[in-house]
Chain A
Amino acid sequence: MAELRASTLRPDLAVIAHHVPDGARVLDVGCGDGVLMAALQRDKQADARGIEIDPECVERCVAQGLSVVQGDADRDLTFYPDGAFDVAILSQTLQTAARPDHMMRELLRVGRRAFVSFPNFAYWRMRWALMSQGRMPVTRHLPVTWYATQNIHHVTVKDFEALASDLGIAIENRWFFTREREIGEGGANWRAEYALFEVSGG
């Protein structure tokens, strides 16, 4: 039954939910309407906390009984003590950070491990749209124009791996997804619409 429920999560969230240990202390940064937190509490008996910037999402979370704080991850992570969480989660939010490198450091300061997912800007449809039209791509996975998008730091799989290396962050695991399905690692920087990494302080 738990597996069935988990399958209703977005694929990257389902992978995260599967890999979070039972009873873990979890911080979900940019938790949205709390769907992952709810699954973690229900299926993993996790002690889950969230940060979310959108007040309507926060309200929906609190109305479900989740512990979610309305705040800005760029600013508010600093108020959490070192090592307060076993797992920190940053799903589809890294590319919106003012300084993704700072956010990665903060994430691994408050959490011993982190799951980070992001849209891969080197996905072949992006490359093709940019090459053929010479304009910033607007796709199914990144549907907002360049001037209105919250994604201010587009990143590729290779960029993220380089950042991890620069910051001395160890990559423990990686998963890739296209069209809401997990795909293999081969040629991921071309083939993956988005990526999920499990990292630790190294």
Chain B
Amino acid sequence: MATGMDKQIVEDLKAAGIEYITSVPCKQLAGVIEVLEETPEIMHMPSNKEDEGMGLCAGAYMGGMKPAIVMQNTALGVVVNTLATLIQFYQIPLPMLISYRGEVGEPVACQVEMALHTKAILNQMHIPTYHFHKPEDAAELPGILEYCQMASKPVAILCDASFWRASA
């Protein structure tokens, strides 16, 4: 079931002019994806893998739509090359709404392994990174989305288990 926070996130994306979203699911993102499916103003085109998704976003951007990607942090292990040689090299603004698995509240031990690398990868790639830990942190989302367009860069919004639990 989508929560008020899931709806607010999609509302903010819509208000920022995001018209195209691709996603690869995560349990924490299920509510957001559910709302996206019910939002006719946003074209939702699921992808099979996040690098493919970033290709779709690059195309949608050049076609005149503002894109975004919804993905899990483990996928940062998949997309390093695509971020560097497509999204950053061609300066494509791309908000990445990322579920931050492997943080406090995580039930699956293996998720911790990529959580340990998540911020390190983002730092290494000089990607502006925001971490939503408490529900009130999400108030910054409209500003982050505007900043992303201004900077023409990929921007990471990490949403951890505490954030989702407290927002439920």
Do A and B originate from a single complex?
no
B: which residues have CB within 8 A of A? none
